Structures are given as structure tokens and as C-alpha cells.
């Protein structure tokens, strides 16, 4: 039970860091998603062409940018371009549940008691309802961002031809290799050697 006590404090810290986030350099863009939307693939690919998530998370250890549940004031002030990945909320929940990320995800969304229906009351129905409510909160917050600086991309469209051209135009990328080398959809094979991409990326950033 003692380990669960860290979550309320973590939730408070996440809310504070979200509001007071400061970046000395000007980012070219950030990929934002609640998770379960294929963001890792896009984040890693954009790192080859822009100064975005990976660059800043490696340089400023400890900051978490990809799952900000609310646009930090500095994002609006600097007019940072945002690629927001969206997906059916039930599909996101299923993805995060299968990967064992529900509790940590709720914490990143600012929930002070993400363990309530996981470790104490153990009510999957209420857990799903709570999770989806936080997803609604997440997307509602980002709906208020300046429409000129946000590009919404559906998970189901992430790998199609039209999307890569939309991203290229939105970010003003001139390099033609962005189109020719744009990643293709690759289904994860869950076997004994499988390492979740989010986990692998976290280790890469914090090594």
C-alpha cells in the first residue's frame, strides 16, 4: 500500500509542471496524445527532421511532453505547432489496459488516485468509465488550442499517403525524404521477446 501513496504526490507534481513548464529553446513542434495512438513511431520519425519531443526530453531530463493533458501556457505563448493524435476512446482504453499502462496513464492525466479501481476497489467497469472521462477531459483541453497551430490526425489515418503530406505542409518540412521514408504501419508481435515501444523509448531518453 505504501507504494500507492506516491501517486497523489506525482499527480500534483504533474499538474504543477504542466502549468509552469518552461523551455529555453523554441520547439518546431510537439506530438501530443493520451497514449495508445501510435505516437512513438511518429515522434521517432519527426526527430530526424524537426526539433520536437525527443530532442527536448533528452536534453531536459525529467520533462514529459507527449502526454500533456492540458496545453501549458508556454505552448500558447510561443505558438508551438502541435500534432494531436486522436482515436476512439474505448480503443485507447483497451490498448492501455492490455499493455498495463492504465494506472500510469491516469497519473499523467493529472489523476491523484489512479489506483482506486485498480488496486483497492478493483472495479473494471468504473475504471473504464473513469479512464474515458479523463480522455474526454484530455481532448477537451486541447480543443481550445489555437486552430492555426494544431493538426489533428486520426490513428486510423496515421500511415496513409494523405497524412504524410499534411504533416509535411503543416511543419514546413522541405526535405523530400520525409515523404519517401515515411513509416509504414507495422503490427506489433506480442511474444516473449516483445518490448513495448513506449517502454523502449522511455529507456532511450533516460539512459
CATH number (domain holding residue 18): 3.40.50
Tell me: the pLDDT tens digits for 42-81? 999 999 999 999 999 988 876 778 999 999 999 999 999 9
Domain range for 127: 2-206
In this prediction, residues 110-119 reach a mean pLDDT of 81
For the whole model, what pTM was predicted? 0.91
In this prediction, residues 176-184 reach a mean pLDDT of 95
| Number of domains the chain contains | 1
Q: How far apart are CA 49 and CA 122, in angstroms?
A: 44
Confidence of residue 37 (pLDDT cuts 50, 70, 90): very high
Q: Are the CB atoms for 75 and 145 separated by under 8 Å?
A: yes
Residue 202 CB-density burial (10 A; 0-12 exposed, 13-18 middle, 19+ buried): middle
Amino acid at each position: 500500500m505504501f507504494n500507492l501513496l506516491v501517486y497523489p504526490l506525482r499527480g500534483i507534481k504533474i499538474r504543477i509542471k504542466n502549468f509552469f513548464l518552461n523551455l529555453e529553446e523554441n520547439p518546431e513542434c510537439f506530438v501530443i496524445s493520451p497514449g495508445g495512438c501510435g505516437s512513438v513511431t511518429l515522434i521517432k520519425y519527426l526527430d530526424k527532421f524537426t526539433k520536437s519531443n525527443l530532442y527536448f526530453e533528452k536534453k531536459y531530463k525529467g520533462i514529459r511532453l507527449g502526454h500533456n493533458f492540458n496545453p501549458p501556457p508556454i505552448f500558447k505563448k510561443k505558438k508551438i505547432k502541435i500534432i494531436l493524435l486522436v482515436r476512439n476512446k474505448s480503443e485507447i482504453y483497451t490498448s492501455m489496459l492490455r499493455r498495463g499502462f492504465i494506472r500510469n496513464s491516469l497519473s499523467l492525466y493529472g489523476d491523484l488516485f489512479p489506483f482506486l479501481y485498480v488496486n483497492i476497489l478493483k472495479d473494471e467497469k468504473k475504471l473504464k468509465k473513469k479512464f474515458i472521462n479523463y480522455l474526454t477531459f484530455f481532448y477537451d483541453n486541447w480543443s481550445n488550442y489555437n486552430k492555426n497551430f494544431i493538426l489533428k490526425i486520426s490513428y486510423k489515418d496515421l500511415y496513409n499517403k494523405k497524412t504524410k503530406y499534411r504533416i509535411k505542409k503543416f511543419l514546413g518540412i522541405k526535405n523530400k525524404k520525409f515523404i519517401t521514408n515515411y513509416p509504414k504501419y507495422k503490427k506489433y508481435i506480442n511474444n516473449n521477446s516483445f518490448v513495448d515501444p513506449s517502454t523502449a523509448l522511455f529507456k532511450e531518453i533516460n539512459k
